[in-house]
Amino acid sequence: MNFNDLPGIEPCFFKKGDILIHDGDRVEHIYYLRKGTVYREIVTNTGIESILSCKEGGGLTDSLIGILLLYGVQPPYISGNNFVAGTDCYCSRIPVDVIKRYLRSQPDLLEQLVATAVHECGYLMNLYLGKTEVPAPAALCSWMLARLEKDETGQVYLPSYHHDDIAKFLNLHKVTVSRIFGALRREGVLEKTAQGLKVRDMKRLRDYADNIVHLKYS
C-alpha cells in the first residue's frame, strides 16, 4: 500500500501561492504531495517572509506535508508555519488519525520519518549559520550547488527559480540576489538559457560557495 491507497484520503489541487496549512491552523489533515513543490514559510514580527524548507512531490515520508507537526506534542496539533505551494501542486489529503495509524504499522516508514526529521533539523541549523556567518554570495552559491541538475547531455544547470523565492530562502533582499546572479553571469560562471542557468565554470562556483574567492556584486 502507498499513501494514495489509504482510506479516507481526498485528491486536491493547489495553485501556486495557495496555502495548504496556515500558521495557527489546527491540523486535522496532512498532505501527501504527489507532484509539485511546497515551501514551509515563517513570517517574522517585522513582516518579513522567510522560507525554512522545501518539499518536492513523489517521494515517501519526505513528501508528507505537515507530518512533523504531529510528533513531539500532544493534540490538538497546531501549525507554527505556513505551508505554501511554490508551484501548482497535486496532493492527497490524509486525515491525521489515518496517517498516524498507518505509520505505526510500518516501522520502515517510521525510520524514514525520523531520518527526515533529523535532516530537516540539520538543514535548518545550516541555514541559520549560513544566514548569520556567511557572506551573501557564498550563501547563494552554496544554495545553488545543492539544487543543480543535469540534462540529457550532461550539462549542469540551475532550474528556474524566482528571485523572490531565493531571497526568502536565504533571508536576503531580492535586489541583492539579482546583483549576485548578474555578477556570476558577467564573470562567466553562469549563462542564462531557456531551461535555467547553465553552469559554465563549476570550479569558480565552488570557490565562491566556499568563500575562497570573494565575488564583487554591488
Helices 174-186, 136-145: crossing angle, 10 deg rounding: 70
**What pTM did the predictor assign?**
0.68
- Cβ 161 vs Cβ 54: under 8 Å: no
99: enclosing H helix or E strand? helix 96-104
What local confidence, expressed as pLDDT, does residue 94 receive?
A: 96
d(CA 184, CA 198): 11
d(CA 24, CA 101): 24
- Cβ 159 vs Cβ 195: under 8 Å: yes
Q: Mean pLDDT in the chain? A: 85
- Cβ 157 vs Cβ 171: under 8 Å: no
DSSP 74: P
Identify which has the larger pLDDT, 117 or 37: 37
Tell whether the model's pLDDT for residue 58 goes beyond 60: yes
Residues facing 43 on adjacent strands: 49
- Cβ 54 vs Cβ 86: under 8 Å: yes
pLDDT in tens, 82-128: 999 988 999 999 999 999 999 889 888 888 888 877 777 766 666 56
pLDDT in tens, 179-207: 999 999 999 999 988 778 899 998 999 89
Domains of the chain are 3-132 (2.60.120.10), 135-209 (1.10.10.10)
Tell whether the model's pLDDT for residue 131 goes beyond 60: no
Number of alpha helices (DSSP H) and beta strands (DSSP E) in the chain: 6, 12
Identify which has the larger pLDDT, 142 or 72: 142
Instruction: Say what percent of the chain tops pLDDT 70.
Output: 92
CA 44 to chain centre: 18
